[in-house]
Structure 1
Amino acid sequence: MFLPHQLVGQMLNQRFDQDVRRRFFKGMEFAAPVGDPGWFGPGSAVWHVHSHMHALIFGLQCAAFLERLDPSIYWMGVHHSRLVRDDTRDDPMPQIDPKGALTRLGHSVAFFIGTAYGSTETAERLATAVRSMHHTIKGTRPDGARYDADDPEWLRWNYATVVWGIATAHELYHPNPLRGNKIDRYYGEFVRVGHALGGTDLPTTKAETLDCLKSYLPKLAVTYGTAMATGPHLPLPQAALNWAVRDTMPSWAQGLIQHSNPNIVERTARRALVWSIINGVHLAAGAAPEFEQAKARVAAGTTVPHTLPTYRPGTDPVRTREELEDAFA
């Protein structure tokens, strides 16, 4: 007989299977080849951080909130993703498409689980897919400024926001978080993902990442998307999670959106509430099967050597978005 939390976990996993795993995890291999450590392998900080699926998902939301302070990345998302309704892409006030937003999140979750726990071939395939999509993202903002997703400056900003979002969410909401030099291990390992996507001159520690993010301040602005995300008064638990996303931002970024922290007692209480929500969901759902499959894959040791990123900027073949969607469907 199922206990209440087991029933909740079963429902959560069924929903995740239906909405995310079946749609976005196609073609990924986690159970084989036996002995293949993938990009990171057992004992890595990445395996530990990404093993908490729901803290990871929350961290990706934190990263998305921070990264759209760059007007160029905001308009890249508007013009080239399913994030907004098609009929509002050229509108100065585009409207979010809820289904499209979930699709974007599904692809992101699949990428960061697949590159963490998938076979080496799976990780390389995912990196090629994302990199190739980036090659097609070029255009003009409504103010006339050009954007290009292959711009090294944009790649560095995008990378820094992602690693900061995931690592900070981990530090705050993982039940056994890495601290100090241990979290720097994560930053140092995760840079492999950034290099595989074409990034250069990337930060490799928490301090370097903070410095990198702050260096972009003269280029940043409160975009329409950011303004809309900070304004609504949402019911619980959405309001708590919305506050928690802003709570993960560096202090100067909080200043941009006029986010002020409450006193230490209230802040601690709010974080405790969010910790309970994230970890309650994670406890009910249990460990991700991809993580369990990866552990079984290397249970007898690793027999395949770790590899380093082989991609060199400018060496990918040029393909249209339609060709890419067919190839990686």
Structure 2
Amino acid sequence: MKRADVQPHEDYGFFGPDSVTWKVWSYPTSLTVGFIRAVVVEELDPDLVAAVDKTHDIYKRPRTRYDRTLRYFAMVAFGGSRETSKAADVLVKIHSKAIGTEPYGGKAYDANAPHSQLWIHLTAWHSILYSYERFGPGKLGAAEEAQYWEECAVAAELQTCDPADVPRTREGVQAYFDQMRPQLSGSPIARQAMDHLLDGGSLVSPLPRWMAPVTWGFNLVLRAGVVATLPRWMREMSGIRQSRVVDALVTPVLRTTFFALNLSKRGKLFAVGLISPGTAPVVAPVLLGVEPTIPEVVTPAQARERYGYDKPAEAHLEWRAKQHEKVFGRKEEPDDTGLIESQQVLGRI
């Protein structure tokens, strides 16, 4: 993609060039190891993996599922405020169908529940930062890390969770995961989903058949890198095995690879295009330095007022109630309207 062919964003969105979010999320670790780590760890939440297992979308359409999810997170970090606000709004309708009864505990789950959205949100932002530290330039300074978690709270305004619940320090984030640990489960469906997502095949399937050895090698190293970031207790819970030797060996390999890739803006964009075609247009203006039409940073509250959207927690309440009645009351399948509508924003399903 040439710089002249890049469509500029309307504005800087919710962060902009002075943000730590742009610094961390634009490094090659973020949309590869970081994002895969996030979706793998998320499966340990019984409610989330129940929704994933019910649809089986990660097995039936892994590439489009990965592409759409990655595109959404990239929009939050880099996209214009108007398009990202629309995506956040339609995401509530998508999640309205992710409701049901958890198969092992027997309790009702709802993907729009604030605690579920907080888990998804913090797992993503923590994984992106941790991968940046492990395989990228290293730890941020104290001021930049504080700013990163403040920006994480800003991004939480696009979810149904309460931004006030987002920790603002490394210690606070660790305390959150310690609090969540007793609630997590390495159930059979969680282990199946985690192993499938660790395979990494959805990342490199567009490569030609003659590059199969490259594909195999890339998947192997990428999987080892993701596993190397997982704490021992999490590996034991999920049945994932990898020696400390492999943990140690894969770190310099990936650190060198990502450093080399980061030297070329076009190289980074090419890599994004391979793993997620729908994400490339979102990150292209940032990676190639294409200024937005209006060079301003907008808050989520300003965006909602400008474009007429409700807070995610208060959005589509009537529609969500109808979905609950359909699933829990009449024992029918939920409506797919939100998923269909989302194709205009997140890409085809």
TM range, smaller chain: 0.7 to 0.9
Shift of 1:197: 1.1
Which position in structure 2 is the counterpart of 1:130? Answer: 91
Which position in structure 2 is the counterpart of 1:92? Answer: none
Structure 1 residues 267 and 54, CA, compared in 2 at 3 Å: closer, same or farther? closer
- Asked if residue 80 in structure 1 is aligned to residue 55 in structure 2, the reply is yes
Structure 1 residues 161 and 188, CA, compared in 2 at 3 Å: closer, same or farther? same
Structure 1 residues 117 and 65, CA, compared in 2 at 3 Å: closer, same or farther? same
Q: For residues 42 and 224 of structure 2, what CA distance do their matches in structure 1 show?
A: 17
Shift of 1:325: 3.1
Structure 1 residues 262 and 79, CA, compared in 2 at 3 Å: closer, same or farther? closer
Deviation string, structure 1 residues 124-168 (Cα, Å, up to 9, x no partner): 111112222122211012232221112222222222211111111
- Write out aligned runs for 1:180-199 (5 A): 180-199=142-161
Q: Percent identity?
A: 19
Which position in structure 2 is the counterpart of 1:270? Answer: 250
Shift of 1:189: 0.4
Which position in structure 1 is the counterpart of 2:291? Answer: 297
- Asked if residue 69 in structure 1 is aligned to residue 83 in structure 2, the reply is no
Equivalences, count = 284
**2:8 aligned partner, one-letter code:** A
- Write out aligned runs for 1:151-190 (5 A): 151-175=113-137, 178-190=140-152
Q: For residues 253 and 268 of structure 1, what CA distance do their matches in structure 2 show?
A: 18
**2:340 aligned partner, one-letter code:** D
- Write out aligned runs for 1:245-284 (5 A): 245-257=226-238, 267-279=247-259
- Asked if residue 204 in structure 1 is aligned to residue 168 in structure 2, the reply is yes
Shift of 1:215: 0.5
Deviation string, structure 1 residues 182-214 (Cα, Å, up to 9, x no partner): 233222202222221111212233221221112
Q: For residues 128 and 70 of structure 1, what CA distance do their matches in structure 2 show?
A: 24
TM-score of the pair, normalised by structure 1: 0.73
> Structure 2: which 5+ runs fail to align?
201-215, 270-280, 305-310, 321-333, 344-349
Structure 2 residue matching 1:249: 3-state secondary structure: coil
Shift of 1:230: 5.2
Q: For residues 156 and 325 of structure 1, what CA distance do their matches in structure 2 show?
A: 21
Contact 1:30 1:297 in 2 (8 A): no
Contact 2:13 2:78 in 1 (8 A): yes
Q: For residues 321 and 57 of structure 1, what CA distance do their matches in structure 2 show?
A: 32
Which position in structure 2 is the counterpart of 1:147? Answer: 109
Contact 1:160 1:213 in 2 (8 A): no
TM-score of the pair, normalised by structure 2: 0.70
Structure 1 residue matching 2:12: 3-state secondary structure: coil
Structure 1 residues 70 and 325, CA, compared in 2 at 3 Å: closer, same or farther? closer
> Structure 1: which 5+ runs fail to align?
1-12, 15-28, 84-95
Which position in structure 1 is the counterpart of 2:204? Answer: none
Larger helix proportion, structure 1 or 2? 2
Deviation string, structure 1 residues 252-281 (Cα, Å, up to 9, x no partner): 424434667755x76443201222444555
- Asked if residue 223 in structure 1 is aligned to residue 187 in structure 2, the reply is yes
Which position in structure 1 is the counterpart of 2:339? Answer: 325
Contact 2:29 2:135 in 1 (8 A): no
**2:30 aligned partner, one-letter code:** A
**1:202 aligned partner, one-letter code:** V
Q: For residues 182 and 284 of structure 2, what CA distance do their matches in structure 1 show?
A: 44
Which residue of the other structure, out of 208, 213, 231, is the alignment partner of 2:177? Answer: 213
Structure 2 residue matching 1:313: 3-state secondary structure: helix
Q: For residues 291 and 189 of structure 2, what CA distance do their matches in structure 1 show?
A: 42
**1:71 aligned partner, one-letter code:** P
**1:47 aligned partner, one-letter code:** W
Contact 1:30 1:290 in 2 (8 A): no
- Asked if residue 239 in structure 1 is aligned to residue 216 in structure 2, the reply is no
Contact 1:171 1:179 in 2 (8 A): no
- Write out aligned runs for 1:16-165 (5 A): 31-33=8-10, 36-80=11-55, 82-83=57-58, 96-97=59-60, 100-143=61-104, 144-165=106-127
Shift of 1:66: 0.9
Contact 2:21 2:148 in 1 (8 A): yes
**2:172 aligned partner, one-letter code:** E
Contact 1:167 1:183 in 2 (8 A): no
Q: For residues 23 and 117 of structure 2, what CA distance do their matches in structure 1 show?
A: 25
Shift of 1:222: 0.8
Structure 2 residue matching 1:114: 3-state secondary structure: helix
Structure 1 residue matching 2:157: 3-state secondary structure: helix
Structure 1 residues 219 and 51, CA, compared in 2 at 3 Å: closer, same or farther? same
Q: For residues 261 and 81 of structure 1, what CA distance do their matches in structure 2 show?
A: 27
Structure 2 residue matching 1:139: 3-state secondary structure: strand
